[in-house]
Amino acid sequence: MSKYTAKYPSRYASLQVKLVTAPQYIIELICEHRAKFLKTELPIKFWNQPEWAAFFKRNLRQVYKALKSYDPDAIIAALNDPEGLYKWALNTKKFIALMNKHQAIINRRKESVASQPAPDIDRTHDTNTRPQKLKPAIQQLLDLDNA
């Protein structure tokens, strides 16, 4: 079982698969950047085509290696950064610096959320009481007749 949940939208998976895991999404972005550099279009399930299969597998190993050190959102942000637009190799010095920059941003954001105190909850009134059940309409009419 993978530790990644499918929460990223895929542009290249089949019609039945709409969401993919972080490593799959990252490798799609990398291949997309390379295709943009080569001025070609990526078809659906491009990883099955011989010209993309080797590149896909080689870079997928790099993605899993990078995910050991970086948050998936930091890698995705680095790939979407204007500085990383034509970068598809995760192990270059410039791209590592870009990932470090985005990882630092994510770490600061997590620290600021963790350092905020929990909101005070007013527990002076009882919120667990259930409203009184209303009598059925027929019973209300019978009560009116008897009154």
pLDDT tens, position by position, 126-137: 666 666 666 777
pLDDT band at 3 (very low <50, low <70, confident <90, very high): confident
Euclidean distance between CA atoms 94 and 84, whole angstroms: 9
User: Would 31 be classed as within a structural domain?
Assistant: yes
Instruction: Establish if 128 belongs to a structural domain.
Output: no
Q: How many residues does the chain have?
A: 147
Residue 147 pLDDT: 67
Residue 33 and residue 30: Cα distance in Å, rounded?
A: 5
Report how far apart, in Å, the C-alpha atoms of 1 and of each of 4, 5 are.
Answer: 9, 10
> DSSP secondary structure string, 29-53?
HHHHHHHHHHT--PPTTGGGSHHHH
Tell whether 56 is covered by a domain: yes
Q: Does a structural domain hold residue 92?
A: yes
pLDDT for 1 equals 42
Q: For 20-39, what is the mean pLDDT?
A: 86
Taking only the tens place, the pLDDT of each residue in 77-127 is: 888 887 766 667 778 888 888 889 988 988 888 887 777 776 666 666 666
Q: How many domains, in total, are found in the chain?
A: 1
Q: Which helix (H) or strand (E) holds 65?
A: helix 50-67
Residue 73 within a domain = yes
The parent domain of residue 37 ranges over: 8-115
Strand partners, 14: none
Site of tokens 């291949």: 31
Inside any domain, residue 80? yes
Say how far apart CA 132 and CA 121 lie, in whole Å: 25
Q: What is the identity of the amino acid at 59? A: N
**3-class SS at 19?**
strand
Residue whose tokens read 């620290």: 111
Q: What is the pTM of this model?
A: 0.69
The answer to whether residue 71 is domain-embedded is: yes
Structure tokens at 98: 């870009």
In a domain, 25, yes or no: yes
Distance of alpha carbon 26 from alpha carbon 4, whole angstroms? 12
